[in-house]
């Protein structure tokens, strides 16, 4: 899977919305395009390709909170419900790993 930056989507694929769901080569490897990140995504707007994060849980430090996640609400989902679900996951992780997990912060952008 991969998300294309809007600049690359425009320059290489002519803003073709049908690219979503298709396979493209990224560093010689086939990847399915799952979305387009807009230029005003909020940070790192000059990124051409957004690959998935694939951390190794055995090597991760639960106190390392440097990952920012960007997502889109699925149809029928609202911010209040999504926030509630994310807070529930955070609380569960805090209970499961009380000495290694501290609450995450969720910032919503409309």
**3-state SS track over 41-55:** CCCCCCCCEECCCCC
pLDDT tier for residue 88 given thresholds of 50, 70 and 90: confident
Q: Provide Rg for the chain, Cα atoms.
A: 17
Question: What residue has token string 């994060």?
Answer: 53
For the segment 58-79, what is each residue's pLDDT rounded down to a tens digit?
777 766 666 677 777 888 999 8
**pLDDT attached to residue 72:** 76
């Amino acid at each position: 899977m991969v998300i294309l930056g809007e600049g690359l989507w425009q320059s290489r694929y002519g803003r073709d919305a049908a690219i979503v769901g298709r396979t493209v080569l990224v560093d010689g490897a086939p990847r399915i395009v799952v979305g387009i990140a807009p230029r005003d995504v909020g940070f790192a707007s000059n990124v051409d390709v957004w690959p998935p994060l694939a951390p190794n849980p055995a090597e991760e430090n639960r106190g390392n909170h440097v990952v920012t996640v960007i997502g889109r609400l699925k149809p029928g989902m609202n911010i209040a419900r999504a926030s509630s679900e994310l807070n529930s996951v955070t609380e569960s992780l805090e209970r499961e790993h009380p000495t290694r997990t501290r609450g995450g912060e969720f910032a919503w952008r409309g």
